[in-house]
Structure 1
Amino acid sequence: MKIPFFNYADRYAEDREKIKEIVYNVGTSDNFILKERVNEFEQEIGRYTGAKYVIAVANGTTALTILLKAMGVGPGVEVLTPAFSFISTASSIALLGGTPVFVDVDPHTGMMDPDDLRRRMTSASRVVIPTHLFSVMADMKAINEIAREHNLIVLEDSAVALGGRQNGAMAGLLGDAGLYSFFPAKPLGGIGDGAVIVTDNDDFGRISRMLRNHGQDGITRFYHHMLGYNNRMDETVAAYLSHKLMRYDNLLNRRREIALKYNEAFGSLAPMVQVVTEAHDERVYYTYVLQAEKRDELRSHLQSRGIETQIYYPAALPLQPAFAYLGHKPGDFPNAEAITGRSLALPLYAEMPDEHVHEVIQAVSEFYAEVKIHA
C-alpha cells in the first residue's frame, strides 16, 4: 500500500539504534523480567498520571483479567460491558466465570450509553466497564453517578487513552481502576506487548501486584498469598517505553494535528460521514474512526488509491460466535449493530507525513463527490 495503516517501519525508524542498544543492555544484564527497568517505568507512569499505584503487566487483556479478579468477579457475578468494543473487555469476564452483560452504545460516539446501562443492571451486577475507543471517551461522569447509586465498581478500560483527559482529570483515574496498553499499534507503542494497571485504591493496587506474579508480594520470594498469574512485563519492553515516554506528549500533539485536519475536512461531508469532534484537545487519537455511508464502497475506493484502512469492528460483541451461548439475537443492540456496518478507520500515526494526510482527505472527498453526483 502507498499509505499503509500501521506503518511500523516509519513509526519505529527514529528508534532503531536505541532499540538495538536496549536489547543488548538487557541481554547482557542477567535481569530480563520484572526488575529495575520495570520498576523505573512504573514510577515514570505514576509521575505522568498521578496514579498512586502502577502495576506493569504483560498486556492489556491481562490487566483487565487481573483487575476483574481483584474486584471479585467469578461465577454468579455480572459485569456490564459495551456491546461495541474489542473482545477482551467481555472475554476477560467470561474466562473468570462471570457473566458479561452487554450494554448498547451511543449512536454518535460509540461509547457506553448510560441510559441503557441503567436498564441492563440486575441484583447480580457488581462491576461496570466503560471503555474508551479509538479517540473517544465514555461519559465517565454519568457512569460514575450510576455506579455510586447502585454500588458498582468502575473498571475504566482506558487502554488506548494514556494522556487523555475528561473535565481536566486523567483517563485511567476516572473510575476505581484503569489500565493502559502498550501494544505496538497504541499511541505509546512498545517493542512487544505490555500494559500497566493504575489505581488509587489500596486493595486493588495490592491485590493486582500479587496477582501479576503468582500471588507473591514482591518481598518474600516463593511465598504465595493467593493463586495468581505469570503476567509480568519484560525489561526490554519497559526500557523502551521509558525512552519513548519522554517524547510522548509531542507524539500526542502530532496525532491531534492530523485528526484536526480530518475533522475539518470530513465534517462538511455530513450526513454521509459522521465524525466525533467534541473535546478534541483532551483526546488521544489512537485510531481515527468515522461512520460512513457506503462504507464498503468507500473502503474499496481508498484501496484503489493505495490507502489501507481497517474495520473496527465487523460485528457487535453479543452477536459474535464466541458469545452465542448468551442467546442474543440481531436487533438486541441496535446502535452497536448499526455502527459495525458503518465504521471505518483511516491511517493516523504521529509520523504520518502531511502529503499522506492530504491524499487520504482528497480520496475520501472525491468518493462522496461522486456519490452526490449520482444520487
Structure 2
Amino acid sequence: MSGAPATDEIPFFTGAASLRHDWPRLEARLRQAADSGRFTFGALGRELEAAIAERTGARHAIAVGNGTDGLVILLRAAGIGPGDEVIVPAYTFFATASAVVHVGAEPVLVDVLPGSYAMDPAAARAALTERTRAIMPVHLFSQMADMVPLRELADEHGLVLLEDSAEAIGMEMGGRHAGLWGSGGVLSFFPTKTLGGLGDAGMVLTDDDTIAERARRLRVHGQARDGSYEYLELGYNSRLDEVQAAVLLTRLEHLDADIARRAELAARYDHELAALAPALDIPWQARQTEPGNPVHYVYLVETDHRDEVAAYLARHGVGTEAYYPRPLTEQPALAHLAGARHPVPVAKAASLRALGLPLYPDLTDQQVDRVCELLRRFHKEHS
C-alpha cells in the first residue's frame, strides 16, 4: 500500500497510517480467509471470539454484524420484549434507545451526570415503575458509568442489568471489564472505535450460558445449531464476516499500545488546554465507588461557543464532532414515548456544549499542538 500524501488537514479520525503498518500481517489473514472459501463467520471469526473472551474475561463472546445488532440480540436474549420498560440515558447514540424499541419494549430516558455523561443512578431510581424490567447504562468517551450503585439498584428491584459498552473495550472497574457487570454487554468495532474494523462489526459479551446460547441462535435467523436448517424462533442475519475478523485480530495485537498512545495524546490536550478554563472546560472524571481505568476513545471539551469553535477549526482544516447535538428526548422518532418526557437538564446542556477533538493513534504530537494553538487563538480573538 502506498503512503498517503502530506496534508495540513487534521481529520477528526483516520487510521490510514495504522493500516499501512498492519498490512503485511493483515494480508496474510485475508489470504487465509480467501483460501478457506468461507467468508462469513469462519475460522477467523471464531478466533476473534476466543481472543475477545480472553481479553475481557467474558465466559462468552458472540460475534455479530455490528454493535446495534448486538444490542437488539442481547436485549432479546435477556428476555426483554413488549410491555417492558428499559431505563437508558438520554445522552447517548440513538442506537441505545432504538434497540429497545426494536424488541418491542419502551426506553425510559433519564438524565446523566456532569462530566462523565453516564446515567445518573438517582435519576434511574426516580424513573422506576411497575413495568421497569431492565437498566441499560452506557459507557461513553473515556470511562465507565458508576456501576456499583446501578448494580445495587438492579439487584434491589430484581431488574436485568445490561450495558451498552460499545465504546468501552479495555475499560474496567473493580477488576471487571465493561459489559460484565450484569447479564451482558455489547462491543462495537465501528472503524473509529478504540478497536475498529474496516466496516461494521460487533460482539456480545456475557457470563450467562442461557443468554449466550440464545444470542448465538438469534444472530443466524434463530437456527437451532450451525447448518441444521431448523429454526426455533425468528432471528436476524448478523454474522461477522471474515474480512472484519482479520482486521480486528490484527489490530488487537497492538490494542494496548493504541490505548497507551490515546492516553498520551489526552494528557497532552489536558496540559495544553488547561489555561483556557473556564471558557473551555475539560470534563472531570466521575468520582466512582470503585474507580475504573480510563480508555480515551474520544477527547471531549465543553464550551458555550461549541458551534463557533467547530466552524473555526473546520476553516483551519481540523475536523471535530458534536456529541450529541440533541438529547434522545428531542429525537423525532422517540417523541411518542412517555419515557421521553423526563426532564434531562444535564443531557440538554451537554448537547449544546460538548465537542469532540481529534484523538486516535495516528495523530501526532504536533497535530495536537496545532489544534490547541487554534483553540487558544479562537479564545483570544473572541475574548
Mark yes or no: TM-score above 0.5.
Answer: yes
Partner SS state of residue 322, structure 2? coil
Partner of 2:326: 315
How far did residue 167 of structure 1 move?
2.7
Partner of 2:89: 82
Partner SS state of residue 41, structure 1? helix
Deviates more, 1:324-333 or 1:220-229: 324-333
How far did residue 5 of structure 1 move?
0.7
Partner of 2:241: 234
Pick one of 169, 177, 187 that aligns with 1:162.
Answer: 169
How far did residue 193 of structure 1 move?
1.0
Deviates more, 1:53-62 or 1:188-197: 188-197
1:191 aligns with 2:183: no
Partner of 2:301: 290
How far did residue 44 of structure 1 move?
0.8
Partner of 1:71: 78
Deviates more, 1:249-258 or 1:277-286: 277-286
> CA distance change for structure 1 residues 244 and 142 in 2, over 3 Å: closer, same or farther?
same
Q: What is the aligned-residue identity percentage?
A: 40
CA contact (8 A) 1:85 1:131 kept: yes
Pick one of 244, 251, 276 that aligns with 2:258.
Answer: 251
The Cα offsets for residues 267-305 of structure 1, whole Å up to 9 and x where unpaired, read as 332222222353898111111111112111211221222
**What is the correspondence of 1:347-362 to structure 2 with a 5 Å cutoff?**
347-362=358-373
Partner of 1:201: 208
1:151 aligns with 2:151: no
Pick one of 6, 13, 38 that aligns with 2:13.
Answer: 6
How far did residue 108 of structure 1 move?
2.4
Q: What one-letter code is carried by the residue in structure 2 that aligns with 1:50?
A: G
How far did residue 137 of structure 1 move?
1.8
Count of matched residue positions in the alignment of Structure 1 and Structure 2: 372
What is the alpha-carbon root mean square deviation over aligned residues? 2.0
How far did residue 165 of structure 1 move?
1.4
The Cα offsets for residues 319-346 of structure 1, whole Å up to 9 and x where unpaired, read as 1111121268888211111110001010
Rounded to whole Å, the distance in 1 between the matches of 2:50 and 2:234 is 26
Partner of 1:302: 313
Q: What one-letter code is carried by the residue in structure 1 that aligns with 2:351?
A: T
How far did residue 17 of structure 1 move?
4.2
How far did residue 254 of structure 1 move?
0.2
> CA distance change for structure 1 residues 328 and 81 in 2, over 3 Å: closer, same or farther?
closer
Partner of 1:107: 114
Partner of 1:369: 380
Rounded to whole Å, the distance in 2 between the matches of 1:190 and 1:203 is 29
Rounded to whole Å, the distance in 2 between the matches of 1:125 and 1:99 is 9
> CA distance change for structure 1 residues 331 and 65 in 2, over 3 Å: closer, same or farther?
closer
Rounded to whole Å, the distance in 2 between the matches of 1:312 and 1:111 is 13
Partner of 1:342: 353
Partner of 1:210: 217
- Could you list the runs of 5+ residues in structure 1 that have no partner in the other structure? none
Partner SS state of residue 196, structure 1? strand
Partner SS state of residue 111, structure 1? coil
Q: What one-letter code is carried by the residue in structure 2 that aligns with 1:289?
A: L
Partner of 1:324: 335
> CA distance change for structure 1 residues 134 and 33 in 2, over 3 Å: closer, same or farther?
same
Rounded to whole Å, the distance in 1 between the matches of 2:163 and 2:19 is 29
Deviates more, 1:19-28 or 1:159-168: 19-28
CA contact (8 A) 1:4 1:308 kept: yes
Rounded to whole Å, the distance in 2 between the matches of 1:240 and 1:303 is 31
Partner of 1:96: 103
User: What's the TM-score, normalizing by structure 1?
Assistant: 0.94
